[in-house]
């Protein structure tokens, strides 16, 4: 070590040149100052996606086809009750009109017999529409599932996971009913989820919705 006064070497307790005590002489370099600690670190800039960037598609827990069919069968029983009601009403209407035409010998009234076939053919689609307004439009828009879907714990959502609007639920129902007027249309619609990647029916695709398992 060296004396802080004269710079001469120090040995022992005193400088031999000027007599300064060795305790006044530093024994080593001063410790480096510790880096400052910030209690509130500056947040990093948010990451902004580049223009045209599309987030990856959301992966849903799609309902199994068998589960959907079970829910459909429960709803079908409700539609079946509507078919019975409309069938009885149509039979009474045609019977009354035919009897009235015979009594009045009015050929135009008797011609209702041919129109009766068309009326009977339309009973199932009409029952599907009538029951579906409450079961598959109102209930789906309010809680996400029809009566049958609620029993099997599945629901209908849009691409963002939200419940369908009343308009989209109605369009979905109208597509379902429209397919029933096409030969084998209802069957193809029902079987479509078997080979579809997102297990959608055709009436699901019409409004871009998905049927998923309830959490």
- In three-state secondary structure terms, 160 is coil
- The stretch 43-47 carries a mean pLDDT of 62
- Over residues 58-99, the pLDDT tens digits come to 677 999 999 999 999 998 888 888 777 777 777 777 666 555
Mean pLDDT of the region 145-160: 94
- Two tokens, residue 178: 């429209």
Structure-token match 């629901």, residue found: 155
Q: How high is the pLDDT of residue 104?
A: 46
Structure tokens at 28: 């080593």
pLDDT band at 18 (very low <50, low <70, confident <90, very high): confident
Is residue 123 within 8 Å of residue 90, measured between CB atoms?
Answer: yes
Task: Enter the pTM of the model.
Answer: 0.58
Chain centroid to CA 164: how far? 9
Distance, CA of 163 to CA of 152 (rounded, Å): 18
Question: Can you give the pLDDT at residue 109?
Answer: 46
pLDDT at 2 exceeding the cut of 80? no
Hey, what's the torsion of the CAs at 15, 18, 20, 21, to 10 degrees?
30
Helix pair angle (123-132, 65-104), 10° resolution: 120
Q: Write the burial class of residue 116 (CB in 10 Å: 0-12 exposed, 13-18 middle, 19+ buried).
A: middle
| CB 119 within 8 Å of CB 132 | no
Is the model's pLDDT at 168 over the cut of 60?
yes
């Amino acid at each position: 070590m060296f004396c802080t006064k004269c710079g001469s070497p120090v040995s022992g307790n005193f400088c031999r040149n000027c007599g300064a005590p060795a305790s006044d002489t530093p024994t080593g370099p001063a410790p480096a100052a510790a880096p400052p600690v910030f209690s509130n670190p500056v947040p990093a800039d948010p990451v902004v996606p580049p223009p045209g960037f599309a987030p990856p598609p959301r992966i849903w827990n799609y309902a199994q086809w068998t589960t959907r069919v079970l829910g459909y069968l429960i709803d079908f029983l409700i539609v079946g009750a509507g078919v019975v009601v409309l069938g009885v009403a149509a039979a009474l209407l045609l019977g009354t009109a035919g009897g009235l035409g015979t009594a009045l010998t009015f050929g135009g009234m008797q011609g209702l017999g041919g129109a009766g076939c068309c009326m009977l053919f339309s009973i199932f689609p009409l029952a599907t529409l009538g029951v579906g307004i409450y079961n598959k439009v109102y209930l789906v828009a309010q809680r996400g599932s029809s009566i049958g879907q609620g029993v099997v714990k599945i629901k209908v959502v849009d691409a963002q996971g939200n419940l369908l609007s009343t308009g989209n639920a109605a369009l979905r129902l109208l597509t379902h009913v429209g397919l029933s007027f096409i030969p084998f249309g209802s069957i193809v619609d029902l079987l479509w989820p078997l080979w579809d990647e997102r297990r959608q029916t055709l009436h699901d695709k019409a409004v871009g919705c998905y049927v998923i398992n309830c959490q």
